[in-house]
Structure 1
Amino acid sequence: MSVQVATVKMADMELKGVNSERPSEGLSLPAIPAVPAIPASVSPIDPESSPIPALSQPMKGAPASAMKRTDPTQRPKDGGDDAGSPEGAVSEAPRTVKKIQFADQKREFNKRPTKIGRRSLSRSISQSSTDSYSSDSSDDETSPRDKQQKNSKGSSDFCVKNIKQAEFGRREIEIAEQEMPALMALRKRAQGEKPLAGAKIVGCTHITAQTAVLIETLGALGAQCRWAACNIYSTLNEVAAALAESGVPVFSWKGESEDDFWWCIDRCVNVEGWQPNMILDDGGDLTHWIYKKYPNMFKKIKGIVEESVTGVHRLYQLSKAGKLCVPAMNVNDSVTKQKFDNLYCCRESILDGLKRTTDMMFGGKQVVVCGYGEVGKGCCAALKAMGSIVYVTEIDPICALQACMDGFRLVKLNEVIRQVDIVITCTGNKNVVTREHLDRMKNGCIVCNMGHSNTEIDVASLRTPELTWERVRSQVDHVIWPDGKRIVLLAEGRLLNLSCSTVPTFVLSITATTQALALIELYNAPEGRYKQDVYLLPKKMDEYVASLHLPTFDAHLTELSDEQAKYLGLNKNGPFKPNYYRY
């Protein structure tokens, strides 16, 4: 028997003639809606004449839900005057009310959901806030490796979650194209020349709408592409389906196992009658796999383009050991990658990822950010602006001094690990957060990674018999200690923003354009220009990529006069800064 019904019956016994019940007030709670030297072979594009598509990107929102609440303490009012006033003629009855037993409700709340029930509950919670169409559109648990799928052209040279999602993925790609003006301008300008004709590019990056625009641009420039994902959680299934439908051999789906991950990379590389001559990598896993399994392929590979801290570190290790057998382009340390993708992208996506997965409020929360490089700077700035108390850990005294001058307290992780509410890693290193740190965290502490590799947090140490893992929603796990303490681990220690949220398309346009130009440069470079080493991008390429994006803001560059250029010792058309300049 509900509280309200019981109250009404008591009132009927006490007050004769009182039978009108006050209607409950409804409270509507809407759900919160939830990657690149001017190549010698390519002449500069005039930004002024480059077509800039209209920028209009509709926001995707989850369906709103409404919840009705009724206050059980509301007493029904009489239809007459002043039924409850002191002047009323009705005296109050003695307060001898029997305790109301909520047997049905108690029994209901004490029920523990079954395994299937928990899975269903987790899925229903996550649909409106953390998952894209790809992960909630089908309950099919069959592994894509076990499916026989063909696209509309009859090709089965792909492996995705569901090829039927291609239409939805195409819409997302079209939206992304509107926010990637430089890639679209490059596609229109260079597709007549086909600077990548004959290129066979094997790629391993995040498969999102933005990288799909890059892949299709490479195809428009003459390249043949085969693609796999560099992260088991970041793939948008509908985008992978759209690429497969358009004829790109793509092998990826969200939620791959470790075995699936390497299987997908192998399917991209090990193809009869097709051998790659260019590599586009993010993290170095693809390069590592070819070195390990198919080293003879490097006899025909012209170069590697790498865009992540982890992947670049691996390349420098190979170079130092004398094992790097092709030229490699370090896109990660280009200005356009560091200052825009790493800084501005992470400044926005850190909040998006945390909010979607935890629904938390940031004001007053104590946060420690491990690493104050460009990613760390972006995360700290965003959290500080939201009212969080932010601590920073750092090994580099220069970055450490920057953190202090920006108003953040520099600490060792051990000093604050017991008190902080959120721990964020942004280092590209390993074992930044160890099992010892995890043991000392307070109950409910949120742990996540904004670097690259999932080795920054020692997640492997948490997979022990004494700890219990509980899936709360998509990409959110409670790790529970024997004493009941629990931490909230996001994306199993993998990239938070690309696993649990979205990233700003415009910023990724800058990185993707840099990657495309780096591929063009390495592929068309005459023999001998690049040796078997790791190269930074020339300043001219960074300036060129930036200039392609300025028209979006209706920005107008000032031009040097001949006298000014002579005074500064510069070419009027750039580069305007030496390679050692730090922006």
Structure 2
Amino acid sequence: MSIVKDMSLAPSGHQKIQWVRDFMPALSGIEERFRREKPFAGLTIAVSVHLEAKTANLGLVLREGGAEVHLTGCNPLSTQDDVAAAVADSGVATYGVHGVSMEEYENLLVETLKCRPHLIVDDGGDLINLLGGKCAQYGDRLIGGCEETTTGIHRLYARQREGILPCPMMAVNDAKAKHYYDNKYGTGQSTWDAIMHTTNLIVAGKTVVVAGYGWCGKGIAMRAKGMGANVVVTEVDPFKALDATMENFRVMSMDEAAKIGDIFVTATGCKDVIVERHFKMMKNNAVLCNSGHFDCEVDVAALRAMAAETFPRRQNIEGFRLPDGRVLNVLAEGRLVNLAGGNGHPAEIMDMSFAVQALSLEWLAKHREGLEKKIYLVPDEIDDQIARVKLAAMGLSIDALTQEQKAYLAGWEG
């Protein structure tokens, strides 16, 4: 039985799902084949990804492949109640309500895992955390799973090092179709979509501080620059800092950047990136938001403790008035701004990411015998297949190596 806020919201959700399906051709092609071949016949799949229209589409595609699908969110503020109602109305077991407490959120994850899944799709490691702990009893049928995001991959490797990975896992985030395309272009656009919609402020002429210059940070900085912002990058990796410098971004420490920034966007996957000492130096009306997976990059708790008062400024913006009268503005409670304050990545972007998920799950199902409890990389043939399908859907063609060229590249002769 599904757990959603209000089934009467389903018509709006169906409309959203149909819209994105029209712009996800790679996944549509996979769905057609899955419908014929039923690669997941007899298997149960639990999916924990941001519960919005693109994720709903993935759930429906997996169901067409013969799976019993149980769908939930991976962040209490990114669930869209109308989409949850619609996918439940379509016959997929769905557990998601927008704005629940962290305790209620975990309870929804637990309800999802009670299906005793054979396969999982995780986003940030919440399902794996439960299956390796309080929900271990629901993992007795596990074949393996896929991880969607950078933070989740880091946590998987930490588990692998300690020998406590509960099942084989595919590092979907490390696929070329994911981090080249989704992390850079998806995060870059969706972050600024959310910031501009939430604040109704101009970007041009402002000093934007981007914390972290990984694939997500690159996309955020690139789009800010394109809209006329003066971009500052903060980093802990010297080579990423040099890379940002070569792109003509100013590089400095957060201690320096805190004094000059108008908009701060964190994208590090780490904690305590912007903390109390930085708040003390910031301009009046500075805007703070996060595009990393968890809400620990901006220390909102410390800011709350410092504030003389807090007050709502607009939907998804909380003002923190400091004792000296300055106000700092936090978007979406410091959670993932592009989803908690927006609609997430564009459909065309998630088309590739979720195509990787679908084909990686199929690979796990086919190779279930002999898999070890370790992290597997997405095979190159899956990556290349998705890229070629995407190019074809866009009406683009590329060259192909001749046999002579392949021999030349493979050989050592001049």
TM-score by length of 2: 0.96
Give the drift of 1:464: 2.8
Cα deviation 1:207-249 (Å, max 9, x = unaligned): 1111111000000001111121101111111111101111111
Partner of 1:504: 346
One of 365, 368, 388 as aligned partner of 1:523: 365
**1:398-432 deviation line (CA, Å, top 9, x unaligned):** 21111010001110010121221111101011111
1:239 maps to 83
Q: Deviations over 1:343-396 (max 9, x none)?
A: 111221222111111111112111111011111111111111111111111111
Report the alpha carbon displacement of residue 336 of structure 1 after superposing the two structures with TM. Answer: 0.9
Match of residue 487 from structure 1: 328
Report the structure, 1 or 2, having the larger helix content: 2
- Looking at structure 2, the residues matched to 395 and 536 of structure 1 have their Cα atoms a distance apart, in angstroms, of 26
Superposition deviation, residue 314 in structure 1: 1.2
User: 1:138-192 CA deviation, whole Å, 9 max, x = no partner?
Assistant: xxxxxxxxxxxxxxxxxxx112121011111111111101110011101112211
2:268 is paired with a residue whose SS is coil
Q: How does 1:108-147 map to 2 (within 5 A)?
A: none
Q: Which runs of 5+ in 2 are unaligned?
A: none
1:211 aligns with 2:55: yes
Distance 1:422 1:466, change over 3 A: closer
Partner of residue 29, structure 2: 185
Match of 1:384 among 202, 225, 233: 225
Shift in Å, 1:494:
0.6
CA distance in 1, matches of 2:9, 2:155: 36
Q: What does residue 146 of structure 2 align with?
A: 305
Identity of aligned residues (%): 37
Please tell me whether residue 197 in structure 1 is matched to residue 41 in structure 2: yes
1:28-177 to 2 correspondences below 5 Å: 157-177=1-21
Counterpart of 2:310 in structure 1 is: 469
- Give the greater-gyration-radius structure (CA): 1
Quote the Cα distance in structure 1 between the aligned partners of 2:132 and 2:63.
26
Secondary structure of 2:285's match? coil
Tell me which residue corresponds to 1:120: none
Matched, 1:534 2:375: yes
Q: Distance in 2 between matches of 1:383 and 1:415?
A: 19
Match of 1:251 in 2: 95
> How far apart, CA to CA, are the structure 2 residues paired with 1:468 and 1:257?
23
C-alpha distance in structure 2 between counterparts of 1:282 and 1:264, whole Å: 15
Aligned to 1:223: 67
Match of 2:393, SS state, is: helix
Report the CA distance between 1:299 and its aligned residue: 3.3
Tell me by how many angstroms 1:566 deviates.
2.6
| Corresponding position of 1:129 | none
Q: Residues 488, 193 of structure 1: CA spacing in aligned structure 2 closer, same or farther, 3 A cutoff?
A: same
CA RMSD of the aligned region, Å?
A: 1.5
Q: Distance in 1 between matches of 2:276 and 2:116?
A: 43
For 1:164, the aligned partner's letter is S
- Aligned equivalents of 2:111, 2:280: Cα separation in 1: 40
One-letter code aligned to 1:306 = E
Aligned equivalents of 1:551, 1:542: Cα separation in 2: 15
**Equivalent residue for 2:133?**
292
Alignment of 1:364-383 (within 5 A): 364-383=205-224
Q: Please give the per-residue CA displacement for 1:281-323, whole angstroms capped at 9, x wherever unaligned.
A: 0001121122221223333201121011111111111110011
Q: Is the 8 A contact 2:110 2:135 kept in 1?
A: no
Q: Counterpart of 2:357 in structure 1: which amino acid?
A: Q
How many residues matched? 410
Q: Distance in 2 between matches of 1:329 and 1:365?
A: 40
Among residues 395, 408, 414, which one is paired with 1:567 in the alignment?
408
User: How far is 1:557 from its partner?
Assistant: 2.6
Aligned to 2:257: 416
Q: Partner letter of residue 106 of structure 2?
A: W
Give the counterpart letter for 1:486 in structure 2. V
Query: What's the counterpart of residue 451 of structure 1?
Result: 292
- Matched residues in 1 for 2:5 and 2:138: separation? 29
Kindly state the Cα deviation for residue 559 of structure 1 after the two structures are TM-superposed.
Answer: 2.5
